[in-house]
Amino acid sequence: MAAAQAGDRRAYERLLADSVALIRTTARRQGVAPDGLDDVVQETLITVHRVRHTYDPGRSYDAWLTAIASRRAIDALRSRGRRDSRELHDDYALDRHPDADDASAATESGQRAQRLHEAIAELPPGQREAVEQLGLRERSLSEAAELTGRNAGALKVNLHRALKALRERFHGEP
């Protein structure tokens, strides 16, 4: 460090590279989680760079560095503790929260449903009734015949014609 203070760039680079192991060890001893070690190393190296002029060459560099690393580790632990106390993690809510893509898919689905309902509304009354009873309300042929007062054969023919008309409208298929 004394050489680095004197302006030796290579010595300073070597010093910082060699300091990483000691910083990691100090942070681990303080209880920093493995995913937070790199942050502590970075903050410590920034602090060393900022306060390098305060190092006394007559004293131990390792002790000086350990004191700085210990303080940065404590800062990281405090920061994580504050963040963890404020943040909540709810797996159920996370799994049920729609993504932005899901929202656009829901919008598209709603638009398609709206177009289908409009197309059904434009069908002749007999075909519309057959689609509503058999398709939308999912009634059986005998239930629909009883509710509408029409025979099952007429409902089948009207449903067939309605589906053909809807296919032509949306897909251009006869």
pLDDT in tens, 34-92: 999 999 999 999 999 999 999 999 999 999 999 999 999 999 999 888 877 777 666 77
pLDDT of residue 100: 59
Whether 105 shows a pLDDT value over 80: the answer reads: no
Q: CA 52, CA 55: separation in Å to the nearest integer?
A: 6
Mean pLDDT of 122-140: 91
CA 68 to chain CA mean position, Å: 36
In 3-state terms, the chain is what percent helix, strand and coil (to 5)? 80, 0, 20
- Residue showing tokens 């305060």: 54
Domains of the chain plus CATH, in order, are: 2-86 (1.10.1740.10), 103-171 (1.10.10.10)
Q: CA 106, CA 111: separation in Å to the nearest integer?
A: 9
Whether 2 shows a pLDDT value over 70: the answer reads: yes
Q: CA 51, CA 92: separation in Å to the nearest integer?
A: 47
- Could you say which DSSP state residue 98 is in? P
- Could you say which DSSP state residue 134 is in? I
112: three-class secondary structure by DSSP? helix
Whether 163 shows a pLDDT value over 80: the answer reads: yes
Determine contact, residues 16/3, Cβ cutoff 8 Å.
Answer: no
- Could you say which DSSP state residue 131 is in? I
Q: Which of 16, 41, 42, 46 is nearest to 28 (CA)?
A: 41
CA torsion sign for 47, 52, 56, 57 is positive
Residue 104's pLDDT band (boundaries 50, 70, 90)?
low
CA 70 to chain CA mean position, Å: 34
Q: Is the pTM of this model over 0.75?
A: no
Lookup: tokens for 85:
């106390």
pLDDT of residue 94: 65
Other C-beta atoms closer than 10 Å to the C-beta of 159 total 20
